[in-house]
Amino acid sequence: MITALQTLTMLSAPRSMPIVCTAPSMPCALVPIAPGSEELEATAIVNVLRRAGWSVTLASVGVPGMDPVSCARNQLLVPDAAIEAPGILDSDYDAILLPGGMPGASNLAASSPLLERLRRQAAEKKWYGAICAAPAVVFAGAAADLLPQQATCHPAFIEKLEAAGCDANRFLDRVVVDDDRGCVTSRGPGTAIEFALKVVELVQGSEVAEATGGPMVLP
């Protein structure tokens, strides 16, 4: 039963469409979410990428099947599939992007299959990233080999990046790209659109990013 304080948000593509990217000319992304993920960040990432013509798979972690995921502010997001569904972790992605939120970031960090897929992404020199609590909780906390030297995160978690030896000169940047690691990080809900547009720029170029962001009437 969905209460008045909960919103059922359908971010997934129509169910007649494949949940795994099959078009070689279309950029593809995996956006994992878990109970307690920050819904504004997840929504912004998926929305911006789809505006730019991406195929995006919103995959649940720790929730059976396509059951709705209860996020940090009690908003329900309906995934395209569970992360363990056939083809999800085996598919190739131009980017794998983690929203933050608590305890969502901790729940993502506890997923060994997700961490292994992120490691494969990094080994293949393809983009991966995280925003808000996720850079600190998932990368610094659970998978230090994925933590880039150049990174940022939510102000409440900066001490974790500092303790891990990240470059403190970048902590106040809204979006940080570590080209050596192929990793993009960002600070929180208020920077989520910029975060997603930066990924569009990195994969498709500045013209596509500008064309995507223009109609959104950004500051």
Give tens-digit pLDDT for 95-136. 999 999 999 999 999 999 999 999 999 999 999 999 999 999
In the block, tokens 């948000």 appear at: 9
Closest listed residue to residue 99, CA positions, set 36, 25, 49, 164 = 36
Q: How many CB atoms lie within 10 A of CB 204?
A: 17
Catalytic annotation, pick one of 21, 28, 71, 132: 132
Instruction: Provide the H-helix boundaries in 85-150.
Output: 104-109, 112-123, 134, 141-142
Mean pLDDT of 40-54: 98
pLDDT at residue 13 tops 60: no
In the block, tokens 């979410």 appear at: 33
pLDDT at residue 15 tops 60: no
Residue-level pLDDT at 1: 38
**Domain ranges, ordered by start, for the chain:** 28-201
Mean pLDDT of 156-169: 98
Spacing of C-alpha 112 from chain mean position: 17
pLDDT band at 25 (very low <50, low <70, confident <90, very high): confident
Which CATH number does the domain 28-201 belong to among 3.40.50.740, 3.50.50.60, 3.40.50.880, 3.20.20.80? 3.40.50.880
Active site (annotated) includes residue 21: no
Tens digits of per-residue pLDDT, 202-215?
999 999 999 999 99
Give the three-state DSSP class for 145. Answer: helix
State how far the Cα of 95 lies from the Cα of 203, in Å rounded to an integer: 8
Residue-level pLDDT at 4: 34
Mean pLDDT of 178-195: 98
Closest listed residue to residue 148, CA positions, set 158, 136, 156 = 136
Active site (annotated) includes residue 166: no
Residues 31 and 93 sit within 8 Å (Cβ to Cβ): no
Mean pLDDT score of the chain = 92
pLDDT at residue 88 tops 50: yes
State how far the Cα of 191 lies from the Cα of 195, in Å rounded to an integer: 6
Catalytic annotation, pick one of 28, 71, 153, 154: 154
pLDDT band at 22 (very low <50, low <70, confident <90, very high): low
pLDDT > 90: percent of the chain:
88
